[in-house]
Structure formats: C-alpha cells, structure tokens
Structure 1
Amino acid sequence: MNYVKDPRVDQYIDPLPAWQQDICQKVRDLVHAADPEVEETIKRTVQPYFVLQGNVIALLAAKDHVNVFLYDGGITPDPHNIITAGHGNKTGRMISIHEGEAINEEALVEMFRAIIANNRAGGWRKLKGGQ
C-alpha cells in the first residue's frame, strides 16, 4: 500500500516485537485504506495517531497486546462486536489485539470509515451534542 508515512511512526513500530509490528503495520495500512487522506502524526511524545479532520485512531503497544484507540465519542456502530473496552467511555473506545488473534479487517475499515465520516460532518462532539 502506498501512502505518506511519518518516519516517527516507523520509529515507534520498528523496535516492537515482530508480532506487534505486524499488528501495528496492518492497522496502519487499514486506516489508510479506509481513506487515502488520513495523515500520520505523533502525539503525547511518542504515540502514533492517524488523523483526518480530527483524531481517527491511535496505537499503543502494551505488554501482551496492541490497543487501537478509536476517537468516536462512542457513537460509531459496532455491528461486528470488535470493541473490547471503553463501551461507556464518552470520548473513545478501544480494540485490543493480542498475539495470534485474527484482525477483522473488513469490520475495522468499516469502523474507520464511519469515524472519518463523523469527523467530516463536524466531529463526534458536534454530532453527539445534537442527539
């Protein structure tokens, strides 16, 4: 997949164990596949963020999993039940992916596209406030 990479994101991913590198790279590819206008950056000193008219997702490698933080205000539907934590969170939710777990790529891209659409419509704060 061809997209503009922020070398700081590579600096975050490269020293990780191979299985975490694979997960991070797959999620990175999928968020760019969801919309080619997604941009990469680093926030909070080292954490990779993927943004388009607001935060879409962030990655955080933990000891035994990789967290994909979804910045959706809890309004993006999850018909495939891939959200693993933060169901009651007012700003975002999370998907934890452990070593050896399959990634539901179709569901993830669907969720990324919904978050991006919400961002383009003014962001989840605006959309949630109107509910």
Structure 2
Amino acid sequence: MNPDITTYIDSITQPWQAEVCTAIRQRVHAAIPDVQERLQYKKPHFMKDGKYAAVLGTAKGWVSFTIFNAQALETPEGLFESSDTGDRKTIKITD
C-alpha cells in the first residue's frame, strides 16, 4: 500500500469519512489482486496494469467512490450514478 494514500486517509478530519475510506481501500485490495495506488489530483487512485480502476475522494458531507471502465458492471438500481457514456459509476456515501 502506498504511504501517500495512508497519509491522505490519516489527514481526513471527519472520523466516519476516514473509516469509510479505509474500508473501501481494503475492499479494493481484496477485489483486485496486485492493484497499485497513486495519489493524483490530490485523490487516491487505484490502478491495474497501468489502467485506472477507481478513485476515492471526500467532500464536506460525503465520500465518493468512482469505478472506471464500468460499462459491463452490474450494480444495484439507484445505488450508483453513471456517467453519460456509462464508463464510470460513482457512489456517494453520507454519514
């Protein structure tokens, strides 16, 4: 795991957001063998074989998690927001 991502999560001021980010990070690593982490645009990005897999971010009242190349990914109705092209799916988690 990339220490820059650990520092990012440790610097989150809302405890619930830090907990959610830690849980998502652990699940990404469990789901994607050999996933690489990179802090880019001030957000944790997860990559596989040089391609973006997902990005994690926080805002005032939520944590967002975006999955890239998600056209074929089946997700529960109403849980994720899809981009116009359907290649990205985002969930916003609130307290």
The residue aligned with 1:23 is 20
Q: Unpaired runs of 5+ in structure 2?
A: none
Distance 1:79 1:69 in 2: 12
Greater Rg over alpha carbons, structure: 1
Per-residue CA distance 1:101-122 (angstroms, 9 max, x = gap): xxxxxxxxxxxxxxxxxxxxxx
The residue aligned with 2:54 is 57
Q: CA deviation at 1:92?
A: 1.5
Name the structure with the higher helix share.
1
Q: CA deviation at 1:69?
A: 1.1
The 8 Å contact of residues 71 and 86 in structure 2, kept in 1 or not, is answered as: no
CA RMSD of aligned residues (A): 1.6
Distance 2:47 2:91 in 1: 17
Which of 19, 31, 35 is matched with 1:34 structurally? Answer: 31
Distance 2:8 2:75 in 1: 31
The residue aligned with 1:9 is 5
Distance 2:63 2:31 in 1: 20
Distance 1:98 1:78 in 2: 22
Q: What's the TM-score, normalizing by structure 1?
A: 0.63
The 8 Å contact of residues 71 and 87 in structure 2, kept in 1 or not, is answered as: no
Name the structure with the higher strand share.
2
Q: Which runs of 4+ in 1 moved over 6 A?
A: none
Structure 1's 14 and 42: CA in aligned 2 closer, same or farther, altered over 3 A?
same
**Amino acid aligned to 2:5:** V
Any residues of structure 2 matched to 1:1-131 within 5 Å, and which?
Answer: 5-16=1-12, 17-44=14-41, 46-53=42-49, 54-72=51-69, 74-81=70-77, 82-83=79-80, 85-99=81-95
Q: Unpaired runs of 5+ in structure 1?
A: 100-131
Count of residue pairs the alignment pairs up:
92
Identity across matched positions, percent: 25
Q: CA deviation at 1:70?
A: 1.1
Distance 1:36 1:77 in 2: 18
